[in-house]
Amino acid sequence: MPGLSSNQPSSTVVAFAEFLASQGFLPPKRVVDIGCGVGRNSMYLAGLGFEVHAMDYIRQAVSSLAEKAGAGGLREMVNVIEAPIDSTWPFAGGFFDAAVDCFSSIDIETLSGRQVCRGEMFRTLKPGGYAMVAVVSSSDEFEREMSVRSPGAEKNSVIWPNGKFQKNYVKGELEGFYSCFKILRLFEVKKPAYKLGRHYTATNLVCYLRKE
């Protein structure tokens, strides 16, 4: 999220790791970091002892992560995959113990693409596996303004000044979208943020899921 160092894990991922530990779900487990970017969350999870499979379509990002993992002594714990998250994933069914989608699938520009991502997360998780999905709330202060100035064609979506699409959610919509999972927790997180030269209060939604 804006204002965070590329080396600092998201607080939502830190909290999810603590939740997993409270469930007795401990390393070494196999986790997929969906849309990993430069890998701040992948590096954090690998540092805890998880076997992380970090997936992103941006070659520069995954190359940077591979270099960081090697330099940090985590080469054996971080497996980097250059692949889109809205197409069939290169993993067998039931391959992962857990999944993390930290503000990644909201950038997929089509509903069908987000449905593919959700379906692949479900398919590749083991029965009993956990997932965490973090999205931006439609009630977010900045996003409310953007929805008036530059709405996307889809409900609760916006187009940023740089042309980037973003899908935001209300709680009921998020519950419905992930109804193929058992929803363990769905909660709102507010925090100070900095975006496009402005300080404001960000409002996000975080969902903990389990494949039954």
Q: Give the mean model confidence (pLDDT) for residues 81-93.
A: 98
Q: Return the H-helix or E-strand segment holding 63.
A: helix 59-71
d(C-alpha 195, C-alpha 141), whole Å: 11
C-beta atoms surrounding 176 within 10 Å:
10
The answer as to whether 52 is a domain residue is: yes
* 158 within domain boundaries: no
Q: Residue 3 corresponds to which tokens in the numbers above? A: 């204002």
Supply the DSSP symbol for 29: -
pLDDT at site 194: 87
Question: Residue 6 falls within a domain, yes or no?
Answer: no
CATH of the domain at 102: 3.40.50.150
Domain that holds residue 67: 11-137+170-210
Does 5 fall in a domain? Answer: no
8 A C-beta contact, residue 121 and residue 99: yes
Number of domains in the chain: 1
Mean pLDDT of 157-177: 96
Does the bond joining 28 to the residue before it have cis omega, within 30 degrees of 0? yes
Quick one: pLDDT band at residue 195, thresholds 50, 70, 90? confident
On average, the pLDDT of the chain sits at: 95
In this prediction, residue 2 has a pLDDT band, given cuts at 50, 70 and 90, of very low
CA distance linking residue 10 with residue 128, whole number of Å? 24
- Looking at the predicted structure, is the pLDDT value of residue 6 above 80? no
Q: Note whether residue 151 is domain-resident.
A: no
* Mean pLDDT score, 13-22: 98
Average pLDDT of the residues in 138-146: 94
In the chain the first and final C-alpha atoms are separated, in Å, by 31
Mean pLDDT of 108-117: 98
Q: Specify if 102 maps to a domain.
A: yes
Residues of the chain with pLDDT > 90: what percent? 93
Instruction: Provide mean pLDDT across the span 86-112.
Output: 98
Answer whether residue 154 is part of any domain.
no
Residue 4 lies in a domain: no
Q: pLDDT band for 196, please (50, 70, 90 cuts).
A: confident
